[in-house]
Structure 1
């Protein structure tokens, strides 16, 4: 499968499941949920069927048989093919070995936050911090309830998410401290820009004033220290 077909991790999850044994989509969904993989991979039944059909058309999996259990509808059982095994190995190896640029929504929001005023951003970050602290409590509770001696192999992705969460909490906490104390670089110009906007200044006036004040601030920062 070409790299263009590697955008959906759910497809890789299906390949890994079928490398264990043949399954029908309902069993795939149940197994992923039982293993809590929906915390790491976006999963819904409709998209799962679409992924299975796409993999079948690409020759990475094939239908093995159709089964019926009691009064339930017939279900198609799928198995992985030799090309599917090769693709699974190459895809997973690539993900583990090669960092890829991931366009996180929070990162995008940070890059665009100057369009909002500093005071509003502080309120929004405080709300996000409360949510993430609650999430950390939930992760800590899950970690504490994990049976002693339970293989780390089966919880490593949760450990990764927890570390990312803790890093974000530290980042937001420090960012809020700098914003509230006035230490954040560019805060004065940022606040001035929104003061002008609220006063009804034209975009041209705002741009000219901000450019002048930013140049003055950079000039002051670049002055050599006096001894």
Structure 2
């Protein structure tokens, strides 16, 4: 079935609205507080466009307009029954069915030989350093968020990403070590 909305930011917003109705600014703030910006690209323009699209397709609807102090009025949205059904079906599909995502790194690794042994090992070691920093950041985010009483389930994707980064880190280090030791042979024409 072709889904009308495929933007993963929409998935994040629909997930938040399971908790309670929110206005877009609160949605963005909550996603950032929970470090969801590691899983979803969050910027004001795309967030408001996504909210508009969800409302257009009747997956969410305005339920009230609020004003706090001198701030502008904000429209609070909630799920519609259709939106809740679509969210659950979409989520179920994404969890059950692996899809080819064509990551840029895999594309680059397929031509690693063009860098030559020294540059390839250097690049992998630098990537490993960046991955180690991301893993440390994920650990800090998990400790801060779950430590503040948020349910672990709210951060489960950070755990998943951390494990994926850990596996990539181990692979990058091992491959760089193979290149440095000469056990990963390099064709003469590179």
TM-score by length of 1: 0.74
C-alpha distance in 2 between matches for 1:149 and 1:49: 29
Instruction: Specify the SS of the correspondent of 1:193.
Output: coil
The match for 1:221 is none
5+ unaligned residues in a row in structure 2: which ranges?
Answer: none
Q: Would the aligned equivalents of 2:121 and 2:177 in 1 still touch at CA under 8 Å? A: no
Give the structure 2 partner of residue 163 of structure 1. 163
State how 1:1-150 maps to structure 2 within 5 Å: 2-3=2-3, 5-6=5-6, 8-142=7-141, 147=147
Quote the residue 2:189 is aligned against: 193
CA distance in 2 between counterparts of 1:166 and 1:59 reads 40
**Aligned partners of 1:47, 1:119: CA distance in 2, in Å?**
41
- C-alpha RMSD of the superposition: 2.4
Q: Take 1:167 and 1:4, find their aligned partners in 2: how far apart are those partners? A: 34
Q: Distance in 1 between matches of 2:61 and 2:150?
A: 35
Does the residue aligned with 1:5 lie in a helix, a strand or coil?
A: coil
Cα pair distance change 1:162/1:25, threshold 3 Å: same
- Residue in 2 that maps onto 1:197: none
Ranked by relative contact order (alpha carbons within 8 Å, sequence separation 6 or more), the top structure is: 2
Q: TM (normalized to structure 2)?
A: 0.87
1:77-135 Cα deviation digits (max 9, x unpaired):
22211110110010111111111112222111101323322221121112111222233
* CA distance 1:85–1:170, shift in 2 (3 Å): same
- Give how far 1:143 is off: 5.2
SS in 2 for 1:23: coil
Structure 1 stretch 111-120 or stretch 81-90: which is displaced more? 111-120
| Structure 1: runs of 5+ lacking an equivalent | 195-227
